[in-house]
């Protein structure tokens, strides 16, 4: 069984998260990131859907590396903002990606939204593409709400503003959970647990 797969990402935290969860299904798997392969021109994420962007990145990764490739596209969808920032989540405050700027802008846009209308969810679509062209796509979701100030030091992105519904009583943000607690309920964790056995079967077959 081949145990090397490529994840089209620079994010050390995302790579570690993928490695941690996929290892439950594929013992010995090694998730390589963009820093581990020869540099290539990454595609512009200009698709209108999470699935479109995930497949775009996964197909480009296979073409550039020859390795089975995982790519994900994820984002925060806020009810009061008609599902935005959605696919624009990473660039919500501008072309230069900045978690701090994105969170500050979201707080500004939500400042007059009452608590009962602050529902939101994270969506993650994961695409897995084999060198032979075989493709799989799964989606995970985590429901919750947006709070009025940042809290916590873990996670990344909008985690400091998002309280998952599973922790609504305690009011803990995703950034205040341990990695294992977050993996258990997160949109990415759910998608990875679904696709993990499928990846294992594809690599073995």
Residues marked as catalytic: 73
182 belongs to an annotated ligand binding site: yes
How does strand 162-164 pair with strand 135-146? antiparallel
What is the Cβ-side half-sphere exposure of residue 16, based on CA atoms within 13 angstroms? 7
83 belongs to an annotated ligand binding site: no
| Residue labelled with tokens 């608590």 | 115
187 belongs to an annotated ligand binding site: yes
Sheet containing 4-7: which strands, arranged edge to edge?
30-32, 4-7, 69-78, 119-129, 135-146, 162-164
74 belongs to an annotated ligand binding site: yes
156 belongs to an annotated ligand binding site: yes
The dihedral formed by the CA atoms of 26, 34, 15 and 48, expressed in degrees to the nearest 10: -100
157 belongs to an annotated ligand binding site: yes
40 belongs to an annotated ligand binding site: no
Binding residues: 9-14, 73-74, 156-159, 182, 187-188
Binding residues for Mg(2+): 73
Binding residues for substrate: 9-14, 74, 156-159, 182, 187-188
């Amino acid at each position: 069984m081949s145990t090397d797969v490529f994840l089209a990402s620079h994010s050390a935290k995302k790579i570690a998260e993928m490695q941690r969860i996929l290892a439950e299904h594929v013992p010995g798997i090694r998730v390589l990131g963009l820093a581990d392969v020869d540099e290539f021109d990454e595609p512009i994420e200009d698709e209108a859907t999470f699935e479109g962007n995930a497949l775009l990145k996964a197909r480009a990764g296979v073409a550039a590396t020859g390795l089975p490739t995982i790519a994900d596209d994820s984002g925060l969808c806020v009810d009061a903002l008609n599902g935005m920032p959605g696919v624009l989540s990473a660039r919500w405050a501008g072309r230069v990606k900045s978690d701090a700027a994105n969170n500050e802008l979201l707080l500004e846009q939500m400042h007059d939204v009452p608590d009962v209308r602050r529902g939101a969810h994270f969506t993650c679509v994961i695409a897995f593409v084999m060198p032979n062209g075989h493709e799989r796509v799964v989606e995970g979701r985590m429901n919750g709400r947006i709070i009025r100030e940042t809290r916590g030091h873990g996670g990344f992105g909008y985690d400091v503003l998002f309280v998952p519904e599973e922790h609504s009583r305690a009011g803990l943000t995703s950034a205040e959970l341990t990695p294992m607690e977050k993996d258990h309920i997160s949109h990415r964790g759910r998608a990875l647990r679904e696709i993990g056995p499928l990846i294992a079967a594809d690599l073995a077959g």
